Amino acid sequence: MTPTSSPHPRQDLTPLPRILNSKYFMRKTMLLFMMIFCGCGPRASFTGESTSVTSYLETSPRKTSQRKEVKNQHTLSVNDGTLYDAAGFPFVIRGINNPHSYFKDKTLSALPTIKSLGFNTVRIIWCADNLPRHQRCDPKDIHQAEELDQILQQLHQLKLIGVLTLQNVTGSNNPNDMDKMVSYLTSTRIKQLLLDHQSYLILNIANEWYGSWDKLSTYVNTYKEALIKIRNHGLNHVVMIDARGWGQDFSSIRENYKQLLAFDPQIIFSLHMYDTFADKQKVKDSFAFVRDQRIPFVAGEFACSHYPFQPPIPCETIMAEANQRDQPYGYIAWSFTGNNQELTGLNLVSSDDWVSLTDYGKRIVHDENGIKASSRQACWFEPNQCL
C-alpha cells in the first residue's frame, strides 16, 4: 500500500477391488454422492454464496493426482507457474494484509478472527530494525524478533500461511535500501527465526521497492543480488517480488519474468492492483498473460477502492480472474483494518472493534469468488485430509 496516488502424470490405475460389487460399496457410493451434492462433505466449506460443486472439486488442492513429488522439502515451492505447499500440494493464496508493525497487540489478537473468516494466508506488515523511516517505519513501529516469532507461532497454531513483508523501503529506488532489508533477513536471530518457520512462510523482501516506472536494469539487477545473498545464507523460501512502480507496473513482470525465473525459479511475482487497474479489461489482460505464460503470480494487494479522488477498482473482476479453474492464482486483500481517515474504505473490518465486517469486507469475504467460496487451508498442516 502506498502513500501516493500510485501506491499471488496421471496416477497409475490399479485393478478394481472385488468389493466394488458388494452392497457395502453401493452404500458408501450413495453416501459419498449425498455428501458432495448437499455440500456437507468434509472440509468443503460451502456457504451458499454460489460456489458450485464442480468449482470446488476442480479448484481444491485435495486431489492426490495433483500432488508434486517432494524430497527433503521444507518450504513452499514453485513449479510450472504453480505454488506448492511444503507437503507438495498445490496451494492458492487467499490472504489479507495485517498491519502488525503498526498495531502490534491488536493484530496478534485479530489472527483468530482472520482464520474464522476463511482466509488461508496473512501478509505480515513488518518493519526491519536497521532502517527507521519517518511515517513508514518510525521507532514505535519497530519491534523485537521475539514478537515476530510470536506472530509466526500463532500462524502455525491457526494453520495459516505467512508472507513476511518489510515496509521500510516502500517506493525507494536505492539498491542500498534493498541491501539493508536483506541484511535484516540474514542477521543471525532473524535468519534462525525464518528457518524455524520455513515450512509455512514466504519472504516478500521489500514492499513496493522501486517506485519508479522507468525500465532501467536497476530493478532486475538489485533483485538478483538480493536473491544471491538470501540463498547463500540457506534461506530457501519462495521469495515474493513486488512489481516496480509502487507495485503497479505490470510491464516489470511481463518484460522480466523469464530472466528472473531462469535466475531463481523459486520466486513468485506480486502485482498491487489499485487505480492503475480501474479498467476491467486491463485486469483481465494481465491475468490472461500470466496464465498463458505459466508465471507464478499473486495479486499481492488490491481493494475495491483507493483514494477518494480515484475511480473504483473492479475487485470482483480481480477475484474472478484469480479463481479461474484452469489456473487459479492467489490474491491478498488490503487490509484488515487500521487505515488512515482518507482510506477507511479499505478496512475489511471496523477499526472500532476489529471484528465487524465493513461493506468492503463483505464483498471480499462473500463474493462468489471471494474468501468463503474459494479459500482452502494449506494441506501441509493436515496432509491426511488431502489424500
Q: What pLDDT, on a 0 to 100 scale, did the predictor assign at position 68? A: 74
Identify the band that residue 71 occupies on the pLDDT scale cut at 50, 70 and 90.
low
Which CATH number among 3.20.20.80, 3.10.20.30, 3.40.1710.10, 3.40.190.10 corresponds to the domain 66-386?
A: 3.20.20.80
Percentage above 70 pLDDT, the chain: 82
Kindly report, residue by residue over 83-129, the tens digit of the pLDDT: 999 999 999 999 999 999 999 999 999 999 999 999 999 999 999 99
Question: In terms of pLDDT, which residue wins out, 50 or 119?
Answer: 119
The pLDDT-based confidence of 13 (bands split at 50, 70, 90) is very low
Assess whether pLDDT exceeds 80 at residue 266.
yes
Q: Mind listing the pLDDT tens digit for each residue in 308-334?
A: 999 999 999 999 999 999 999 999 999
Kindly report the pTM of this predicted structure. 0.85
Q: What is the pLDDT of residue 1?
A: 67
What are the residue boundaries of the structural domains of the chain, listed by start? Answer: 66-386
pLDDT at 67: 77
Pick 128 or 57 by higher pLDDT.
128
Counting beta carbons within 10 angstroms of the beta carbon of residue 158, is it exposed (0 to 12), middle (13 to 18) or buried (19 or more)?
Answer: middle
pLDDT at residue 223 is higher than 90: yes
